[in-house]
Amino acid sequence: MSAIETLHAFLKDAETYYLATTDGDQPRVRPFGTATLFEGRIYILTAKSKDVSKQIAANSKFEISAMDKQGRWIRVSGVLTADNRKEVHEALLADYPHLGSMYTAGDDNTNALYLDQIKATICSFTAAPEELQF
């Protein structure tokens, strides 16, 4: 399995991960649940009207932390890059149909972002850290 597939599988298994951004000099962390593998990239979904989108537009650096059902955790960092092609929106909404009441593929508010310049490490209390190579 490639590094991007391993990361995607980890986030899907965790179901909820915590995305950290900055708001000026203040860190902001919130739970997210979307992680779609499309065209070899992991995409997340939010709304352009939300504070998180504004924070990412001002500073695209992010960190993610999640724990899987086996008790391992992952730390991911990089930058988030917008890709609001309609087919990206459609792929995200196909993976998460319950979000269809909030988002519409191709509209002006749906914001698809992919993880770029990724660094990720899987850790546990019982094994050496595993750095994923992208």
CA 75/CA 14 separation, integer angstroms? 13
CA 118/CA 80 separation, integer angstroms? 9
**Nearest in space to 111 (alpha carbons), one of 40, 39, 52:** 52
Residues near 56 by Cβ (< 8 Å), separated by ≥ 6?
21, 62, 80, 113
Quote the pLDDT of residue 89: 98
Quote the pLDDT of residue 111: 98
Quote the pLDDT of residue 59: 97
Quote the pLDDT of residue 1: 93
Q: Are 17 and 31 in contact (CB under 8 A)?
A: yes
Quote the pLDDT of residue 22: 97
User: Rounded to two decimals, what is the model's pTM?
Assistant: 0.96
Per-residue pLDDT of the chain (134 residues; tens, 9 = 90+): 999 999 999 999 999 999 999 999 999 999 999 999 999 999 999 999 999 999 999 999 999 999 999 999 999 999 999 999 999 999 999 999 999 999 999 999 999 999 999 999 999 999 999 999 99
**Nearest in space to 112 (alpha carbons), one of 74, 69, 75, 81:** 81
Domains, in order of start, for the chain: 3-125 (2.30.110.10)
Quote the pLDDT of residue 133: 96
Distances (CA, A) of 42 to 38, 107, 116: 6, 20, 9
